[in-house]
Each structure stands twice: as structure tokens, then as C-alpha cells.
A and B are shown apart, each in its own frame.
Chain A
Amino acid sequence: MTNSELITLKRPIDQVGVEERVARFQTRSIKNEAKNQGMKMVLSMIDLTTLEGKDTVGKVRQMCYKAAHLHDALPGLPTVAAVCVYPTHVATAVDALKGTGIKVASVATAFPSGNSSRAIKLADTKIAVDAGADEVDMVISRGEFLSGNYSFVFDEIAAIKEACGKARLKVILETGELSTLDNVRHASDIAMLAGADFIKTSTGKISPAATMPVTLVMLEAIRDFYYETGKMVGMKPAGGISKSKLALHNLVMVKETLGDAWLSNEWFRFGASSLANDVLMQLARQADGRYQGLDYFSKD
């Protein structure tokens, strides 16, 4: 699409109204069976993530074991949805997760800044896909977006989508750098039109990351896209969700904005490194009525 076509997509978002709606979701009281069911759903939607400069084969292998064995002391738990690593660690993860059904996601396109040439971004994507990544998490060029070069952003997403082949594409908007909810909405629309399978809030390297208002605006963008095209797009808030209560409120928001179809790890994910253990602690408490110490839950 041309730049002038993309400019016409802009829709106003009222921040005060969004914050009020979010506050209302946070008054939902999730207890007993609903809490158990919700927390298991949260676990099954996690993209267990390590995206550090100091990542090693050993670190990735250990995390992959955790992904498939969240807390063996508690029977009946799901596995996480995916692990998320840098392209150079995809092969390790694919090998470690063989037979588990857990997907391997890889960040790509000069993550996290996205400041590189199209050629390098495409090559980066190809490395991940060739190594066996099921999902690719790309970053948009925020500088181009903020300078009004919307067609650049659109074309880049479309090109990466093509390079992904069968792999599902998650498009990271890095909402903490877009600054306004109007921009978040506009970037979401551009990403979906360009072929995103998922839209994702953040890299986890910039604060604020996945705030509830930002996630709500993106869910509403997904809803409008679905109304208009009939196509479902997934949502992944990432960064800053480390407590089970916040995760449950995110699920409440999904349930009441998009309905039952999105309450599945095919269409909703949490990008998180430490959320799982907080959820496990809550589930263990639901099971035996008391909180266990943090050291009863493995840190991987």
C-alpha cells in the first residue's frame, strides 16, 4: 500500500477512555475454579524467553527442559506454548524440544533496535527459518514509522512475511517507543494489513512494555480487522508481565474483547521469562492451601 493510503488508516484513540476500560477489567474477581483454569491457560500461552547477549547452548537447553516440565511435582500441568531465542540458538532449541509439541520462536530483523538494512534483516530471518524456527518475532522500524514513512514499514513487514515461508510471523511494534496510543493503533493496522500473523507489544528491552492499555488498543485493532476481513490475528503482550494476577487480567481483557476463539495459545501468547514461576506458585497454593517457598520452583 502507498504511504498516502496508509495515512488514511489513522483512527483516534481516547487514552482516558482506554484507561477506564482497563480499570474495569481489573475489578473482575477471578476465584476458585475460574482461577485454576485461568492460570493453566496462562501457562499454556507462555513464550518462555531468553534474549540476552550472554545466552549459551547450556542456558537454552536448560530452559527448554523447563518449558516441557514446568513443575513435575504438580500433575496435570500444560507445557508452555513456545520458547523464544535468538536465531543462533534456534537449532539448539529445536533439538532440545523434539517430540514435546512446544514451538520454537526466534526473534529476527536486527532485534531489538531493527536498525539495519533490509538485506541483513531478510538474511537474519532466513537463518532462523532454516534452522527450524516455527515462529519469527520481527521488530518494525520505529524510526521510519515516527518519521511518517509508513509504506517503508508496511513493505518491510510484507518482505519478512514472505521470507518466513510457513513460519508464523509476530510483528513487534515496540510500543514503548511509539509513545501514543494513536500510534499503537496505526502501527497495529499497518502490521496486520502487511500480513502479520501476530502483533506483539514489545522487545522487553524498552520500558514501558506490555501495559494493559496498550494491549487493549491492539486487541481492539485485531477485532476491527476481524470484523472487516474475517481473518484472525494473534496477540502477544511481552515484557513486564511477571505476576499471575496481571496475567489473569490480561486474559479477562481478551475474553471480553475478542471472545472465546482467542482464548487459546494459537491466538494469544505471553512473552515472559519469570511469569511461569509466579503462576506455578499460585497453582500449588490452590492445590494444597499454602504458599511454598520460591526455592521449590526451578529457575531456568
Chain B
Amino acid sequence: MAKKTETKLDFGSKWDYSAAPESADHASIKEEYGLFIDGKFVKAEGGKKFASVSPSSEKHIAYFAEASDKDVDKAVKAARKAYNEVWSIMPPKERAKYIYRIARLIQERAREFAVLESIDGGKPIRESRDVDVPIAANHFFYYAGWADKLEYAFPGKTAKPVGVAGQIIPWNFPLLMAAWKIAPALACGNTVVLKPAETTPLTAMKLAELIHDSGLPAGVVNIVTGAGATGAAIVNHPDVDKVAFTGSTGVGKIIQKAIAGTNKTATLELGGKAANIIFDDAPIDQAVEGIINGIFFNQGHVCCAGSRLFVQENVKDIVIKKLKDRLSTLIVGDPMDKNTDVGAINSKEQLNTINKYLKIGVEEGAEIYQPNCTLPKKGNWCKPTLFLEASQSHRIVQEEIFGPVLTIQTFRTIDEVIDKANNTPFGLSAGVWTDKGSKIFNLTSKLRAGVIWANTYNKFDPTSPFGGYKESGYGREGGLHGLLPYVKLS
């Protein structure tokens, strides 16, 4: 090329999209939600409650009961009774019908669930409508299918249920995580006490209403709301046989300690700091799109988010240029607008954490890049952010930020990038972008991560197992492997 001109595309306002808000009129929200115990909605002991607030509009949504140790005890007792008297002895194909019915009901009420998920959690309606809710329904469909086929899942062995499962789920995919936890547990004949996160209890309580309507026998699924203390009460309850937790690595370690020396089993799905690796022979435009989806999907509140970008040094300039241009076209704002790409940060607390890391990154000398976009005045917002010139020793590269923040490092050779990608206490997921098949297989066998995507990212399917290496946890959810934590084999 004779002369390198500085060319810039203009993603201006020549043709702006008009507001396209999804209507919330059809979704009903009660003033106050109780605990769902033994098939009934009941108040917490002493009537303690907490409020949930919309992270985008800051409007009060509803009050939720705060479950105490006594409430949790009631829920576990109800689950034990249902386990002994109904669920564990029901013919498997009958169990399947109930699970299938839950799946159908979620599909029927999909629009309502999508709207409520976006109001309570701040994620764009496009995502809750196209990802969270349909995949949640699919998990129930999928595991309904396994209920009477466990002898084929584990040939030559007899699969018996474990008992009462205590399940604690995070705030990033409230309904979807509830589905991931409840569906396989029920399919294998277990009963459940589930606690949603305190910032996003709405769709879990809507799911409780749906389960109530489905006619599932009382006590098979119990849902209790509350914060950390409620979760601790579930984990420490002596009659809980199995703990399933998705959340931070810090809490995962506490749970691990709490159940040490007991007969409880556990599956932990914890944090991540995934490497997304792009080689010079990759389809660059599609890779850039994959990087964007990998980190900005759900505001980066994704444990398997591709938060560390490794780009081969000889294509660094073009990749970064394209990333910056793509950032200019992301629409940040009202989660209820059908055109919104990046919604609100889930809570004030999480926004503070992200802002803390933005400050750390700048202090560490990484070069921060944010597009020119106007943020709404009210609510919790963070611009999509790139950190250029990041290095392996930066804290922003080592620690999980759980927000829309991508660090960018370069590499020269395959061995170097494998070393760097694995040089983290986490090991949940990774992405590889190259047109060369042999390179993909080489990397997938050497990267220490539970899920590795090739030429795509953030693909979830009920038939595919999901889970981590190292401090990203253990046990698998989804697929045939997702049955294992919920059965005793003999």
C-alpha cells in the first residue's frame, strides 16, 4: 500500500431508530411475595421482608419474604416429606409428565417471563426473550425426556435419587439458572429447596406460581427468598443431601468448607476469566462479532464471558480497529427497548465493583477505550469498555470483573498463548478463532477449561454439559452428565 490514510467510519445519527419499547402491561406483579413452601405461599417467620428494585429505572418492584433458619427448616421438611411419600416412588414416566408440563407452561407465558426478567435484572429484552426464557423451557423439556430413561443413561447400573437438593442460584440468569438446577433434580427423583439471588427474586417466584399451577405435588419444589444467611441455612441444614451452587468463587469456597465432614455432595459452578483467542488465519469479521458477544452479552455478567482477548500480534491493528467500530454501534440503555444491545448493571454493588476495576486498570497503565454513548441518568450503567495494552500481570487480567470490560493482550505463537490462557486460577471456558481445523483440535486438548467454543462463543444448549476446571468449580450441568450429580449409582 503506497499511502496509509487514516480512515474512519462515521456511526452517527443520520438514521436513528425510534424507541421500540416492549409493553409490560400484560405482566402482573404482586405487591408482596411470600415463600413457596409445601405447595403454598407463606409469610416468613416474624414477617421479615426485603424490596427488589429495578436496576434500570430504580423503581421499587415488590417486597419479598426473607427466609430465616426456621423457614428453611420448614422448606427442607416439606421437601423430605414429598421425597419420601410421593416423588421418589412415583413411576419415572409420571414424573416426566409433570416436568414436561412445566416446560409447556414456561413457553405459554414466555412473554411475561421475558418482560419480568428484564425489569428485575436489567438485561435487554432481546436477550431475555431470545435466550433466557426459551433455553429455560428447553431444559425442562430435555430433562423430562431423561426421567424414564435413566437405565440407558447409566447402562448396567441402577440410578437412585439422592434425596433433598439445596440449590442456590445467582442473579445473572435468574430463571435460566433455576431451570438448570430444578429440571435435572426432578428428573432423577429428587426434591428441591431453591434460593434465588436477593437482587433478582421475581422470576423465581413467578416460576413458583407456575409450578403451583402445574399441579406438581406439594413440597417437591420449594422456593425461599433471602440473602446470604438464607443460603447458609440451606447449606448447613442437616437434612439436605446435596448442595448445588452457582455463584462466586469466594462463596463456593465457604460452601466447600461448610459441607466438609458431612455426607453432602456438591456441585459448584463458580467464576471464570475466559481466554478468547484469535489467530491471524481466523475469519476476522466473524471473530470480532464473537468477541463482542463473548463479553458484552448480558452486560458481561456471565461466568463464562470471554473477558480476556488474546489476539495474534500481526492482526492486532485491524482487530482493534474493528472492535472499536463495532462498539460504536452497540445501543446501551433501556432494557425494555427491543433495540437495546447492552442493558443495566444488575445492582449498585456490582457497578461499584466494576468501577473499582476500571480505576485499577487505568492505574496499572492499561489504555482504556469507551465509545461515545449517552447513558440514562437514572439506574446503574457502564459503558462497554476495552483495555488495550493489558498484560498478564495486571489485576484486570487476573481477577473476574463480571462486567462489560474486555482486556486485550497480544501473543506471537501457539505455545505462548496456551501458556497464558491457562495461567489463571479459573478454568470455566475458552474460545478459539481460526479457519484451520487442526489448530482447533490442538488447542481444545491443551486448554484447561470446561467448555471450549471454536469459531463461536456463548452457545448454550440443554444437551451439552457445562462446568469448570480448577477454581471455576466441579460437576457438570446440562446433558447426560448433568444427571450424575442427582443420582446414586449402584
Contact = CB atoms under 8 A, between A and B. Distances in A.
A34 B289 contact: no
Interface in B44-102: none
Interface in A220-234: 220, 223, 226-230
B8 to A, nearest CB: 9
Interface stretch (B150-158, B198-206, B277-285): B277-285
A72 B282 CA distance: 51
Interface string A38-72: 10010000000000000000000000000000000
Interface stretch (B16-24, B246-254, B370-378, B474-482): B16-24
Nearest to A23: B130
B456 interface: yes
Interface string B423-467: 000000000000100000000000000000001100000000000
Majority secondary structure, B binding face: loop
B14 A263 contact: yes
A27 B15 contact: no
Nearest to A181: B283
B5 interface: yes
A27 B338 contact: yes
B18 A229 contact: no
Contacts of A299: none
A256 B9 CA distance: 10
A11 to B, nearest CB: 7
Contacts of B282: 12
Nearest to A19: B286
Q: How large is the interface on B (under 10, 10 to 19, 20 to 34, 35 or more residues)?
A: 35 or more
Given A14-B286, A20-B289, A38 B15 contact: yes
A227 B321 contact: yes
A229 B1 contact: yes
A263 B283 contact: no
A260 B10 contact: yes
A25 to B, nearest CB: 11
B18 A34 contact: yes
B329 interface: yes
B262 interface: no
A17 B1 contact: no
A28 interface: yes
Nearest to B329: A256
A230 B5 contact: yes
Given A16-B455, A229-B1, A31 B10 contact: no
A97 interface: no
Nearest to B436: A12
A34 B16 CA distance: 6
A96 interface: no
